[in-house]
Homo-oligomer: A and B are copies of this chain.
Amino acid sequence: MRPFPSHATAFAARIGAKHPIVLAPMLAHTTPRLCAAAANAGVVAFEGAGQLGKDVLVSRIRETQAMLNAGAVFGVNLFVPSGFYTDPSSWTEPQAAAVEVARERYEGYLRELSGEAAGTAAPSLSREEHQAVFSGQVDALLETGVKLVSFHFGWPDAAEAGRLREAGATLQGCATTVEEARWLVDQGADAIIAQGAEAGGHRGTFIDAQDYRRALVEVVPLVRGIADAVDVPVIAAGGIMRGGDIRAVLEAGASAAQLGTAFLSCPECGTSAMHREALLGYGGEGRDASDPLPTVVTLGYTGKPARGLQTDRALRMADLEGALPNCFNGMLAGRTLQAAALKQGRKDAAYLWAGSGYARSRAMPAAALVETLVAEAQSSQYEG
């Protein structure tokens, strides 16, 4: 057995976890049951708050906490509104036109799926409303005593960060470039999540977010670059599916490995049946070897760059990629479409988040997966 490297065991010890492994926050997928199972198995479990309102978030956190064993490490991830909101009046004319085309396509798709299209462009929140949601989420964390918080899409303003700090919380930031990591540490981040290009779900890129392609750095070089540039621990995310992958990023300089996609096939996860089948399609019973779906980073799913299985929806939107602004708020119609696609079982019209390593998914309970990951990582003689 090769134990984890000492910088990784030191980080796990500091944060109170048994293993230097993190369950990634996956809004709409991670559940209280999954978080509790992973945390009780010794990893650091995160729930994603996304844009949930305060009361819903409090209730999710309390539900999770009720299932946690003593000493289990549980945290919550917040979306920083300043990192995703853009004022539509700041869009260029071609960007606004591209959003309009995207909306029309979503509505056409929706008409095809459900026979109705009216009202698909749900009202967008203003910057102030987004910030109010965020403040409510911070209230929820304070009220429930959550002591571990990570941020996606940047870093909150000093007042909100200060409220969490005063309550004794550890704060982590997500970087997709070395420049972002440096900036986050300047803001006071206690650790950096290095989101490699392989990661499923939304890209956290917030400096030059429009040029998100420049921030599609593979996890190993990203970890190396960030670990060299900052003095806080680095948590590696992206494409990590098995023990050997964990070993590889820890040896590249990461203090912990964050896994999302690998947990999507756990029975405790809130993954839809369609999503689950697609993830397990290459290795499981339902394997459909003649139709392998690659993953892709696209603006065509939600309006912000995100990696998922490359369904027809991404292909149909490909010609708009260069023109769309990088923002959620023009694209709420896309979410209505997602709900309809899930309801109708239309894989082609859905977004199905997946990191680029998803074909190595394994359907096993979270505790068994954690045990397997640790055994693989510690027994590995893999030097490659």
Q: When the two chains form the complex, which single residue of B214, B289, B293 contacts A228, counting CB atoms closer than 8 Å? A: B289
Partner of A294, one of B218, B241, B359, B376: B218
Q: Interface code A278-297, partner B: CB below 8 Å = 1, 0 otherwise? A: 00001100010111111110
Q: Is the CB of B383 within 8 A of A294?
A: no
- Is B229 within 8 A of A289, CB to CB? yes
A137 at the B interface (CB under 8 A): no
In the complex, chain B residues whose CB is within 8 Å of the CB of A289: 178, 224-225, 228-229
Number of interface residues of A (CB under 8 A): 57
Q: Which B residues are in CB contact (< 8 Å) with A318?
A: 213, 321-322
A217 at the interface (CB under 8 A from B): yes
* Distance of A277 Cα from B289 Cα, bound (Å): 39
**Minimal Cβ-Cβ distance residue in B for A382:** B382
By a CB distance below 8 angstroms, the chain B residues around A283 are 224
Asked whether A310 is an interface residue with its Cβ less than 8 Å from the other chain, the reply is yes
In the complex, the answer to whether B382 meets A225 with C-beta atoms within 8 Å is no
Query: Copy number in this complex?
Result: 2
Report chain B residues within 8 Å CB of A42. none
Choose one: B287, B319, B382; the contact of A323 (CB below 8 Å): B319
Judge whether B315 and A211 touch: CB under 8 Å: yes
Cα separation A292 to B229 with both chains bound (whole Å):
12
Docked-complex contact A310 and B213, CB < 8 angstroms: yes
In the complex, which residues of chain B have a beta carbon less than 8 angstroms from the beta carbon of A135? none
Q: Which residues of B contact A314 (CB under 8 A)?
A: 213
Q: Is A243 an interface residue when CB atoms closer than 8 A count as contact?
A: yes
Question: Looking at A294, A310, A356, A376, which has the most chain B CB atoms within 10 Å of its CB?
Answer: A294
10 contacting pairs across A/B (C-beta < 8 A):
A214-B294, A216-B294, A218-B357, A225-B292, A229-B289, A320-B322, A322-B322, A376-B384, A379-B383, A382-B384
Taking A218-B359, A360-B384 as known contacts, 19 extra A-B pairs with beta carbons closer than 8 A to each other, sorted by chain A number, are A213-B296, A213-B314, A214-B294, A214-B310, A217-B292, A218-B357, A224-B282, A225-B289, A242-B383, A242-B384, A243-B384, A245-B384, A318-B321, A319-B322, A321-B322, A376-B383, A376-B384, A381-B381, A382-B384
Binding site for B on A (CB under 8 A): 177-179, 197, 211, 213-218, 220-222, 224-225, 228-229, 241-247, 282-283, 287, 289-296, 310, 314-315, 318-323, 356-357, 359-360, 376-377, 379-384
